[in-house]
Amino acid sequence: MLSEKMQQALNEQVNAELWSAYLYLSMGMQFENAGLPGVANWFKVQFKEEQAHAEIFMNYINQRGGRVELKPIAEVPTEWATPLDAFKDTLVHERKVTAMINNLYAIAEAEHDYATRDRLNWFVSEQVEEEESAQQLIDKFTLIGNDGMGLYMLNNELAARTYVAPSILTAE
């Protein structure tokens, strides 16, 4: 059984994951409209991943006898000057999510909720990957600068990204 404090914090994380999904969908739509389908694809895959993260948290709350409380999702930005700007915002956002996951972990530790702490271990590792991916793309877009051929090639590379459901979700 989840404590009231843990349940509330997990529900806040569900909302944050859904907001993240909405943010990445917004980014994807902008770059699709701008003629960068590969960049758009990267963000649309990210949108699906964030939805899956929310689903993992919701499933967990229900598994532990808690109650999922879906709240309104706050408005997200809708414009970025360049893909580089969008990926910089992505890194800032993923660092914020990492801090939120760390806070959940701290609550689980303080409450001796080892089951929740164990579930959060997956998210701790996931956030390392999320931040690394955003930083690598920032580095690539920075290296490319205003080189159109470089943008063309990176756009094609990003078009190859595919969504794979997290094993923690498919095992539930």
136 contacts: CB under 8 Å, gap ≥ 6? none
Residues 161, 75: Cα–Cα separation, whole Å: 27
Q: State the pLDDT at residue 170.
A: 80
Report pLDDT for 172: 61
Q: Which residues of the chain have pLDDT under 50?
A: none
Number of domains in the chain: 1
Tokens of 162: 């595919």
> What pLDDT sits at residue 49?
98
* Entry pTM: 0.95
Q: Which CATH number fits the domain that encloses residue 137?
A: 1.20.1260.10
Determine the pLDDT at residue 71: 96
Structural domain of 27: 4-170
Longest dimension (CA), the chain: 55
Rounded Cα distance, 139 and 158, in Å: 14
pLDDT score for 94: 98
